[in-house]
Amino acid sequence: MPDDLRGYRIHMVGIKGTGMAALAELLCARGAVLTGSDRPESFYTDAILKRLGIDYAVDFSESNLDAGVQLVIHSAAYRRDANPELTAADRRGIPVLLYTEALGELSAKSYSCGIAGVHGKTTTTGMAGTILKGLDFDASALAGSIISGFGDRSTMINGNKYFVAETCEYHRHFMSFHPKKILLTSVESDHQDCFPTYESILAAFMQYIDLLPQFGELVYCADDPGAVEAAKLVFQSRPDMIFTAYGEKATGEFGMRILGIKNERLLFSLKGFAGEFRLRVPGHHNARNAAGAVALAVSLLRQERGEVTASDLAAIRAALESFAGSKRRAEIVGETDGVLVMDDYGHHPTAIRTTIAGLREFYPGRRIVVDFMSHTYSRTAALLNEFAASLRGADEIILHKIYASAREENDGSVSGETLYNATKNKHRNVHYFDEVMDAREYVRKSLKSGDLFVTMGAGDNWQLGKTFLEDRKKA
């Protein structure tokens, strides 16, 4: 990928995916000429691509690959030896990059900051991008989901000098990135299909951190044991780096204190800055995410402008309070007959526990009903007891079959009913419906005014909340 993308012709296979459409926005902003292809099913990114004026096909065919194409970028959903456009590109000698590789090449053309961690990276990226936008920084940002403050897109584009991006640990995809700073939110066991032990995923994060250049900076969460361990271990071999801690256990200027909730705002303070910061999204974990985003923004401010002024701090506070979350992260879907319906992507026990605790604090008068769908057999089996315990904060729990992943086979050792039986031992109000829509009638009849109904997980049970709202409106 050349430094100057103006007029450079790129074809994108699987262009409607969230990450691919976001990358398309970044490439268009730098002057690239794009074409693409994907399946015919409608997706929310159709509107984004239409707004960009990108001509894309709704099927896969070698004929979609124009003679003038100089580079092909593809989603991980499509294999080079199976997709007709990718095999044609290889046959013609056209360079082909995986999405993460292309993002990595793009990151090398800016002063790039990678936001990583098992939890919180999407929200933290959204917060950091919102702050940089509020500061009118010459910067772009890319998150793994829609961010309300980005105009309901996954990208914030306000220049190319700095680039902040969510970077993913799965299959070490983040190793293609070229970071100058890394913000690390958390490290713990996850993605057991490629990281069978905690030590293996810890090693992957440490390898990523080691990509930082001399005097590069690691901003890490002092409240997360895994992030702290990674920082300590890296320091032993890389004392040349800058290590900046944030969180309630941090001793420096980004040491955080939760001040409570007032007028549906979560208030917190930072040791190095007078006054309070306010958030409209619930949960102490989000206050930690915000503290990390502030730490990164302050670091960039000092690097770019030499100091942080009172007007800079005012802009940071205003940006944080304006942050209204991201899609599928404690997202309010709707409210009917006094029942508030929310959807959340939390699919790891830690994320489930902290999200429910945050909702309990934010909505103290509501009964919390959680509909959870576990994702992947390997994760469910490895963390079965942790999943069961993480759901205890809810007043009522609804469970379903495991949402399978194409990347693994079911060996029959674990099922949705396995999780149901483990959860029953820790909670007295648990229900099981194998298929998501099997619970439709129960939910319609049982939810009452004052309830908070949360569909949670990386599966497709979000449809239940949407259907509930539609059923109540028809009644």
User: What is the pLDDT averaged over residues 369-381?
Assistant: 91
Residue 326's pLDDT band (boundaries 50, 70, 90)?
low
Percent with pLDDT over 90 in the chain: 69
Exposed e or buried b per residue across 106-139, where buried means at least 16 C-beta atoms within 10 angstroms of its C-beta: bbebbbbbbbbbbbbbbbbbbbbbbbbbbbebeb
- Residue range 394-401: average pLDDT? 96
pLDDT digits (tens, 9 = 90+) for 192-215: 677 789 999 999 999 999 999 999
Most confident of 37-46, 152-161, 284-293: 284-293
Between 43 and 202, the more confident residue is 202
Q: Given a cut of 70, is residue 327 above it in pLDDT?
A: no
Mean pLDDT of the chain: 91
Tell me what the mean pLDDT of segment 367-371 comes to: 96
pLDDT of residue 193: 75
Superfamily of domain 110-322: Mur-like, catalytic domain (3.40.1190.10)
CB 414 within 8 A of CB 402: yes
Least confident of 30-34, 341-345, 369-373: 341-345
9-98 matches 110-322 in fold? no
Fold entry, domain 9-98: Rossmann fold (3.40.50)
Higher pLDDT, 391 or 151: 391
Q: What is the mean pLDDT of residues 395-400?
A: 96
> Which stretch of 124-128, 344-348, 463-467 has the lowest confidence by average pLDDT?
344-348
Q: Which of 146-155, 181-190, 209-218, 331-340 has the lowest mean pLDDT?
A: 146-155
Q: Are 359 and 368 within 8 A, CB to CB?
A: yes
DSSP class per residue in 5-24: -TT-EEEEETTTSHHHHHHH
Q: What is the pLDDT of residue 328?
A: 66
Residues 6+ apart with CB under 8 A from 238: 209, 210, 212
Considering only the top CATH level, what class is 331-474?
alpha beta
Spell out the domain ranges in the chain. 9-98, 110-322, 331-474
pLDDT confidence of residue 264: 75
Higher pLDDT, 331 or 37: 37
d(CA 475, CA 472): 5
Of 179, 182, 129, nearest in space to 159 by CA: 129
The mean pLDDT of 316-336, rounded to a whole number, is 83
| 152: helix, strand or coil | coil
Asked if 100 and 173 count as a contact pair (C-beta separation under 8 A), the reply is: yes
In this structure, what token pair is assigned to residue 13? 């296979």
The answer to whether 20 and 73 have CB atoms below 8 angstroms apart is yes
Here the tokens at position 444 are 């319609």
Angle at 34 between CA 36 and CA 38, to 5 degrees: 10
pLDDT at 406: 63
Structure tokens at 284: 């102490």
> How remote is the C-alpha of 153 from its chain's centroid?
13
The continuous run of DSSP H or E covering 227 comes out as helix 225-237
Q: What is the pTM of this model?
A: 0.78
Residue 159, φ and ψ in degrees, nearest 5: 130, 170
Predicted local confidence at residue 423, as pLDDT: 94
| pLDDT score of 192 | 67
The pLDDT-based confidence of 60 (bands split at 50, 70, 90) is: very high
69-85 pLDDT tens trace: 999 999 988 999 999 99
Given a contact cutoff of 8 angstroms between Cβ atoms, the answer to whether 115 and 164 are in contact is yes
CA 121 vs. chain centroid, Å, equals 5
Provide the pLDDT for residue 401.
94
pLDDT tens digits for 243-253? 999 999 999 99
Which residues are registered as beta bridge partners of 269?
257
- Looking at residue 284, its pLDDT comes to 87
3-state secondary structure of 382: helix
* Res. 260: pLDDT tops 80: yes
pLDDT digit string (tens) for 417-451?
999 999 998 888 999 999 999 999 999 999 999 99
